Each structure stands twice: as structure tokens, then as C-alpha cells.
């Protein structure tokens, strides 16, 4: 998660509900997850449902939940069509113990793998959970490394999910019952690894993207084929050094969508896509990505679309609870939520 004190403008074309004060606690039962960033989400192709858990919902006072935030942050949310349903499955993690996390569906296990990020001050390995959407259980064996809002993807070559400790790199880990370090693209101190995602591009298994860490402005893209990494032959100028990003396969499955936040204050988030021509281009319709960071992506392999939830403004004072889909051409608002929460100025 990128922390910044810079504000960010809003786009008038995106429909959103009216903001709700972070100090209010609506009496009605929540009909959508509370506004939050860095939520873990994954699409389960066996049920056709989107699963959401956790995330950073704190507002004015760091690391203190408002009543509504605590109640629904502890739920596992399921998106059925356009409707969110709060569930409390047996064995689910304690949301109060994590601030973020990542999950991905593993077709070899027929389950979703989840790793949470420990709260401030957490040290050492983090637990791993497996869920079929109804019940959760802690995975036996070695635990995942301490991570910061990691990217997670499924590797068809390894028949395992892989995770990349962000934002400072480190070797990729694969989970096949326990976590193991695997071959990674070359790492150096001048590289900020932004994430890794799966792809259906012929001959490619995974795609990883990096940015210059210290003032540079270059995106480098690596692809994995048969367990071996190679860099695509061209580098792509980025607007500036990027410090945070989420990645997803494009709706056609062959490319990558990158939503990223520049390191420098005052710079707006960007949205780019890597097409089958192996070139990065700005996304023509960035829709809700225009004014937010730390949103969550999941790839819907049934309907070939990207699903997106939540996020926040660059300064973190406004958080969103809306749900969108992107079909490669246009964004569609699936669920507006109750509206963004805005921390009152003091």
C-alpha cells in the first residue's frame, strides 16, 4: 500500500452515492462491504461468485474501526450478480488481525488460497487459509512470508498459486501445500516490483511488471514460459516512478491491465494495458480508476471481464465501496454501495 499526503481530483462522469461521514454508523444492515482499500478479492469460477474479505477500512483515527466498519469487515462478502451478501463462514480469519491480504483461485485445489497481511508491528510468517467459499481452514505446513498487500496469481505451469512480497521484491513463492521460493525475474535495489498476474496469452504463464525505484520512469515487463523468465524486448516509458499497482488479465485474457499510483505527490493515478502486440498503451476509458488507488481487482473467467471494488483517494481520507466491471471497452457500475466515507477535517 502506498502512503501519501497528496490529494487527488475527482471525475464528474462517474456516478457515486453521496459521501457518508466516517463517524456515522448506519442503523440499517449493511447491503455492501464498507468503504475500504486493499481488500482481498477473488472470482470463484466453480460458483460464479466474487469473494471479498478484509481490507483497510479505518478512517479518521488510524487503526481504529468505526462500529459499522468492524461489523462488516469481519464478514466474508459474496457478490451474487449485482448483490452483495455478508456471510460468516466457519473458520474464517480474524479480520481484526490483518489490514490487507490477497487471494486467488487455485483450479488444481478447487479452492481459493488467502494470505493476510499482519497489522502494524506484525513480524514473521503469516498464516495461509484455504476456502471453498463456504468453509475456511488454516493450511498446514510452512506459512507465507510477511508481505505487504501482495499480488497473487495462479501458475498453470506449476499448478500452484504464486505470491510476490511487495513492494520491495524478494523471490516469488509458490504454494503447493507449503510455500517454496521459485525462480523470479532478476532483482536489484533500483527496481520496484509492482506485481505478477496470470495470462492466457499463448506460450505465457505469468507476467511480472517492475518500475524504476529511484526517480526513473521506465516500465519493464517480464514473461514466464515453462518456468523461465525473459524480459520483453522493449521498455516502456511511464509517466514517472510507480510505487503501487494492481494487475489483472485484460478481459480477453491475453494482456494485462495495470492501475498504478506514481510515487511523487500531486500526480494522478494511471491506468495502462499491455496488449497482444506486447506494447503498453494508456487505457482509453479509465472510468473509476481516475481518482483512486488501492482498489481491488479480480478476473471473471466466466464472463471475461475485470471486477473491481473500493479503493481510496491518494491522501487516504476518502474510501470507496462501489463495485464495477470492465469488459475491455467500458466500465459498468454493478453496485454503488452506500457511498464513499470521508474523514472529517480537524
Q: In which element (H, E) is residue 67 found?
A: helix 67-73
Cell numbers representing residue 166 in the block: 511487495
Residue corresponding to grid cell 494508456: 282
Q: How many domains does the chain fold into?
A: 1
Q: Is residue 187 part of a domain?
A: yes
- The rounded Cα 334 to chain-centroid distance in angstroms is 18
Residue corresponding to grid cell 494470505: 115
Q: Is the pLDDT of residue 97 over 90?
A: no
Angle at 246 between CA 73 and CA 220, to 5 degrees: 160
Cell numbers representing residue 323 in the block: 463495485
Q: What is the pTM of this model?
A: 0.84
When comparing pLDDT for 329 and 30, which is higher?
329
- So what's the pLDDT on residue 314? 82
First to last CA, the chain: 24
Q: Write out the residue range of the structural domain in which residue 232 sits.
A: 29-342
Q: Is residue 298 part of a domain?
A: yes
The model's confidence at residue 326, banded by pLDDT at 50, 70 and 90, is: very high
- The per-residue pLDDT for range 112-150, each reduced to its tens digit, is 999 876 554 555 567 788 998 888 998 876 566 555 555
CA–CA distances in Å: residue 169 to residues 87, 104, 185, 344: 34, 19, 10, 36
Q: Is residue 13 part of a domain?
A: no
- Single out the residue of 317, 318, 315 nearest to residue 7, CA to CA: 315
Q: Is residue 231 part of a domain?
A: yes
The model's confidence at residue 189, banded by pLDDT at 50, 70 and 90, is: low
Mean pLDDT of 91-103: 75
Least confidently predicted of 21-35, 164-178, 292-306: 21-35
Q: Is residue 153 part of a domain?
A: yes
CA atoms of 205 and 216, how far apart (whole Å): 28
Give yes or no for a contact between 297 and 308, defined as CB atoms under 8 angstroms apart: yes
- Rounded to 5 degrees, what are φ and ψ at 95? -60, -25
Mean pLDDT of 317-337: 94
Give yes or no for a contact between 187 and 169, defined as CB atoms under 8 angstroms apart: yes
Q: Is the pLDDT of residue 206 over 60?
A: yes
- So what's the pLDDT on residue 218? 73
- The per-residue pLDDT for range 250-300, each reduced to its tens digit, is 998 888 998 887 766 667 788 888 887 888 888 889 999 988 888 999 999
| Whole-number average pLDDT of the chain | 77
Q: Is residue 221 part of a domain?
A: yes
Peptide bond into 167 cis (omega under 30): yes
Q: Is the pLDDT of residue 335 over 90?
A: yes
Q: Is residue 7 part of a domain?
A: no
DSSP-derived secondary structure for 279-317: -EEE-S--GGGGG-BS-EEEEETTTTEEEEEEEE-TTSS
- The per-residue pLDDT for range 69-87, each reduced to its tens digit, is 555 567 899 999 999 999 9
Buried/exposed 87-111: b ≥16 CB within 10 Å, e otherwise:
eebeebbebeebbbbbbbbbeebeb
Q: Is the pLDDT of residue 9 over 70?
A: no
CA atoms of 40 and 72, how far apart (whole Å): 14
- So what's the pLDDT on residue 311? 92
Q: Is residue 125 part of a domain?
A: yes
The model's confidence at residue 23, banded by pLDDT at 50, 70 and 90, is: very low
Q: Is the pLDDT of residue 3 over 50?
A: no
CA atoms of 264 and 241, how far apart (whole Å): 8
Three-state DSSP class for residue 80? strand
Percent of the chain with pLDDT over 90: 28
Q: Is the pLDDT of residue 31 over 90?
A: no
CATH code of the domain in which 124 resides: 2.130.10.10
Cell numbers representing residue 180 in the block: 517454496
Amino acid at each position: 500500500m502506498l502512503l501519501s499526503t497528496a490529494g487527488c481530483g475527482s471525475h464528474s462522469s462517474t456516478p457515486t452515492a453521496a459521501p457518508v461521514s466516517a463517524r456515522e454508523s448506519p442503523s440499517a444492515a449493511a447491503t455492501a462491504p464498507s468503504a475500504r482499500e486493499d481488500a482481498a478479492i477473488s472470482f470463484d469460477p466453480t460458483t460464479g461468485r466474487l469473494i471479498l474479505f478484509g481490507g483497510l477500512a479505518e478512517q479518521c483515527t488510524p487503526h481504529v474501526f468505526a462500529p459499522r466498519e468492524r461489523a462488516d469487515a469481519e464478514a466474508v462478502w459474496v457478490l451474487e450478480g449485482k448483490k452483495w451478501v455478508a456471510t460468516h463462514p466457519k473458520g474464517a480469519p480474524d479480520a481484526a488481525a490483518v489490514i490487507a491480504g490477497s487471494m486467488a483461485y487455485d483450479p488444481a485445489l478447487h479452492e481459493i488460497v488467502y494470505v493476510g497481511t499482519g497489522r502494524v508491528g506484525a513480524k514473521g510468517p503469516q498464516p495461509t487459509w484455504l476456502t471453498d467459499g463456504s468453509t475456511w481452514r488454516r493450511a498446514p505446513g510452512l506459512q507465507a512470508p510477511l508481505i505487504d498487500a501482495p499480488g497473487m496469481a495462479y501458475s498453470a505451469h506449476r499448478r500452484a498459486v504464486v505470491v510476490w512480497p511487495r513492494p520491495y521484491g524478494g523471490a516469488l513463492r509458490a504454494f503447493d501445500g507449503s510455500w517454496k521460493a521459485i525462480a523470479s525475474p532478476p532483482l536489484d535495489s533500483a527496481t520496484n516490483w509492482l506485481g505478477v498476474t496470470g495470462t492466457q496469452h499463448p506460450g505465457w504463464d505469468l507476467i511480472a511488471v517492475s518500475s524504476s525505484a529511484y526517480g526513473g520512469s521506465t516500465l519493464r515487463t517480464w514473461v514466464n514460459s515453462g518456468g523461465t523468465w525473459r524480459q520483453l524486448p522493449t521498455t516502456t516509458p511511464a509517466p514517472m516512478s510507480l510505487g503501487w499497482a494492481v494487475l489483472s488479465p485484460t478481459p480477453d485474457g491475453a494482456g494485462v491491465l495495470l492501475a498504478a499510483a506514481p510515487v511523487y505527490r500531486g500526480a494522478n493515478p494511471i491506468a495502462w494495458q499491455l496488449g497482444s502486440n506486447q506494447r503498453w498503451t494508456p487505457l482509453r476509458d479509465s472510468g473509476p480508476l481516475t481518482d483512486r488507488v488501492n482498489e481491488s481487482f479480480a478476473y471473471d473467467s466466466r464472463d471475461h471481464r475485470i471486477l473491481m471494488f473500493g479503493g481510496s483517494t491518494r491522501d487516504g481520507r476518502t474510501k470507496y465501496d462501489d463495485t464495477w466491471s470492465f469488459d475491455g471497452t467500458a466500465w459498468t457500475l454493478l453496485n454503488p454501495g452506500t457511498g464513499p466515507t470521508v474523514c472529517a477535517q480537524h
